[in-house]
Structure 1
């Protein structure tokens, strides 16, 4: 009885917390456009579903926290879209950054913000969608939605899951989240560590399939990655591509670009945030010639040393022109961005020091194709070595491509389980 009462109290506190979060977001939306987009979008989600879905419609539901999880799940989503061609597919995001960039995704009929995780919202959502199959990617475990799926005996799986022992699922205070995991009929994990953590809480319907991102990035090699304007800018010179950078990453590059040793090198920098003020601040610190993507049709690309990409959606293709790549996010606390995108093109990669939560980074470091730096001197030293020693550069890059090839195949395992 004690544990039952304790669990009831925790559930009550969780639901109160969600309602307080809703209130806090509404208040914050008056001061933050990103939060405002999420609040407005969530308010429209039910109308979109109820106006467009009929009771007899067959549906699938894909849920992703943000853009990274969408890219992770995309190879599975595409196969399901092909197999269930007559089903209506609902794709939900929690984060505005995922929704805004992929709101026109062709793998779904409806792209929405996931309503906040209240019991009432979960019931109303599933009354409308009633999915034949639900797929969550990596994390974003919402207890009320998942428990309602379980109560209705609706199928749900979690793919590319990556757990750590310090997460609430594996703590005494995290019973509600732990119970929500049991709503999944099967969980596909990225690694053995995650599997063993699930086994420790007596969740046994688990398979180590690996990370679907390897399949996703490998498919990039099958596409036409040609960008004529990048080819013109590069002009057959050694090119360093810095992707998804933050100001702390860009500080490293300003020093190096302005040094004498960089004069014969081309640099492409694609900031994570393309705010005009931030880009202007970065560009003003560069002493050499630089050009923005938005200026490329009015200025001579070949005459510039630095090309700043003030747009989104083309970074994965730009990496195909890199001789050396730098991936941002790990010099600060924002989180390392996708290192597998440049790795698939067989180029060596440099990142910052804050990558403990990213097992793919450790694997590429151990494999010899990725280098972590913590200071400007570290950065300058490894970048100079990669620039000056082409044999070393090619050897390191080839190790990254081999790692991608070795680890793809998660999608096949998931589809086999689904009998597709």
Structure 2
């Protein structure tokens, strides 16, 4: 560990402390961020990014087709995550009694300028990271057990007060059992405090976090280059959903569209109105003109379902990732999974969500999808009002088979569109741009 004991780090007015105590939960959160960031920089994840994620249809269609621009976006995201982590380490350093850990920002600012002096060995960094992960896991357990202890104590107190009010004995078997459970829970909490970050010295943990920060910076530089998007934001031609704060809203909108696409019959007026009401104003304007267009192309119900399904198949997982990333579960619920290599599962990064999706491209895609829904609903109602003599049995049997395929799937795979079977059931899929047009019965407001 390098020596920070020189004049530049001798100032700082934060509240000083020795043992971590209640800060344990905040530090465990910081360790989780570091572990996730390091995992995303592993050789396996970088290979997955370059070979599968960047060339994927969602990224290419909603973000950019330029691989250099995409790499710049990823590098910038990593740098932002790293900056958040460093700010937290700086804050903990300022809380240390030992002044050598004060104002760590000056040290971190020199990492870009001197990469040789601050070189960290991988084996040492991985061993340090694993040690911190173990402490964070025990701290996660402590978090839950403290809440359980609080519940035990409140229940015990209520029951004792009830016995006193009723003038009953406090020495019964039931009371003794409650006291025994409470004693056992207190012992569990004490033991976990010893195994977790709670009784650790703050300086000791901050030193390890600084080493990890140095190693993460090194990994980002080696993975994406020392001058690829690390110091400035990538230039974008138009606004993204993340910049506009609309990523979650569009994710929910996609989920609604997927639900209506799966609906076995024509959706109710309430379902259609609910979808229309949540459409962005500019999408509503484009939709009105789109629905007024005239099409010469006649498509069957199964063709329309196929077109919807093939798009929703790649779009719905992105919407699901967006919800998970924004509404996430927090470190306390995932702490025990830290450091475990799950089978094929990788941490979600921003490119797997709607965060970087081009707003103009997304709006156009929503218009296309809602137009398909309009045509599907119109065709269903038209067939219901004027059932064809020759194809009535065939059409109902076809819908029945499609529905049976959906119902037989059992449990859904998280993030997979419910309507993707429609795209898989047809070899020839119509292009989405052919969806312009209307039908005799307009189902969405124009």
TM-score range, shorter chain: under 0.3
Greater RCO, CA 8 A, separation 6+: 2
Q: Greater share of helix residues, 1 or 2?
A: 2
Tell me the TM-score normalized by structure 2. 0.23
Task: Choose 1 or 2 for highest CA Rg.
Answer: 2
Please, what TM-score do these two structures have when normalized by structure 1? 0.24
